[in-house]
Chains A and B, each alone.
Chain A
Amino acid sequence: GQNIDQPTEMTATEGAIVQINCTYQTSGFNGLFWYQQHAGEAPTFLSYNVLDGLEEKGRFSSFLSRSKGYSYLLLKELQMKDSASYLCAVSASGGYNKLIFGAGTRLAVHP
Chain B
Amino acid sequence: EAEVAQSPRYKITEKSQAVAFWCDPISGHATLYWYRQILGQGPELLVQFQDESVVDDSQLPKDRFSAERLKGVDSTLKIQPAELGDSAMYLCASSLGTADTDTQYFGPGTRLTVL
Binding site for B on A (CB under 8 A): 4, 30-31, 33, 35, 40-45, 48, 50, 87, 89, 91, 95-99, 101-104
Contact = CB atoms under 8 A, between A and B. Distances in A.
A101 B103 contact: no
A101 B42 contact: yes
B109 A96 contact: no
B41 A103 contact: yes
Nearest to B44: A101
B42 A50 contact: no
A97 B33 CA distance: 10
B25 interface: no
Contacts, number: 63
B105 A45 contact: yes
Contacts of B44: 101
Contacts of A44: 106
A97 B105 contact: no
B42 A96 contact: no
24 contacts: A30-B100, A35-B106, A42-B109, A43-B43, A45-B104, A50-B101, A89-B42, A95-B48, A95-B56, A96-B31, A96-B50, A96-B56, A97-B31, A97-B100, A97-B102, A99-B43, A101-B42, A101-B44, A102-B42, A103-B40, A103-B41, A103-B42, A104-B41, A104-B42
Contact of A97 (B41, B95, B111): B95
B100 A50 contact: yes
B98 interface: yes
Contacts of B41: 103-104
Contacts of B42: 4, 87, 89, 101-104
B5 to A, nearest CB: 11
Contacts of A87: 42-43
A41 B103 contact: no
Interface in B56-115: 56, 91, 95, 97-109, 111
B18 interface: no
